[in-house]
Amino acid sequence: MYGTGARYLDSLSNTSFFIKLLAAFLIAGFFIEFVHRVTVQLDKSYDWKEKPLVRLLLQFALGMLLPGIIDLFFLSIYQWYFGINTMYKDPSAQSSFPVMALPVFLFNVYYLFYYHILRNKQDKEQTPSSNEILLVQQGTKTIPIFLTDIRFIYHQNRMNYLVTCEESKFYLNETLDELERNLPHRDFFRVNRKMIIHYRACLNFKSNGHGKLILNLEPPFAGEVTVSQNRSTQFKEWIKR
């Protein structure tokens, strides 16, 4: 209705008003979801802190420019279908495109601030320090192990084990899911369902030709250690630190 000169209260008695309102909500919902999906995918490959310039360009191109073009297309169809004419002597002053494009910009700003709030919270919770330890069991004794001494944690025969840099092995009560949540993500990575490794444990890795990665660990692990195909890209970014 913006730019048409219509009276809002008078329009409430018109059935077509609610049809137009529903169409506007569907378009708005589409753009909220579109910007959200673009942002989530970019978060996976182009972190704001690691690649700020590339991320800024891609966010602008895919999160603002592309939705703006699609927005203009939707707006043209919308106005044609409902017979809305907003073209006056000064089209730029009456066009409703800036009003429709503004939410696309605001969605991007919202996700940017939301990302940084979550990232700062995560960094505070997971900032590693030299005196962080993990408690392990050995018989009736409870032993504190420095996180920097851990090389990998694995699941075998319904048991979870921890191996240190000195090749000492300990039993763990926690599940791998619990450990993955509590260990600092900067230093530890869940390579597959049955293993979490410290970055110092990885001597080298290679592709098996099918998208997976095969790791060579130190201390040596009895068995093949692989990174699944859907985690391989994330692993390569993580191991660069």
Domain ranges (residues) in the chain? 8-126, 133-240
Residues 32-38, mean pLDDT to the nearest whole number:
85
pLDDT at 179: 92
CATH class held by domain 133-240 = mainly beta
The H-or-E segment that residue 43 falls in is helix 15-45
Instruction: Using the predicted structure, report yes or no on whether residue 141 has a pLDDT greater than 50.
Output: yes
Residue 16 in tokens: 């077509």
pLDDT level of residue 88 (50, 70, 90 thresholds): very low
Question: pLDDT per residue over 210-241, tens digit each?
Answer: 788 999 999 999 889 999 888 898 999 999 87
Q: What is the largest CA-CA distance in the chain?
A: 87
pLDDT at 162: 95
Total count of residues recorded for the chain: 241
Residue 233 in tokens: 């890209």
Task: Between 2 and 192, name the one with better pLDDT.
Answer: 192
Residue 174 is which amino acid? E
Question: pLDDT per residue over 98-136, tens digit each?
Answer: 666 777 788 888 877 877 787 777 666 555 444 588 988
Mean pLDDT of the chain: 81
pTM: 0.47
Task: Between 1 and 77, name the one with better pLDDT.
Answer: 77
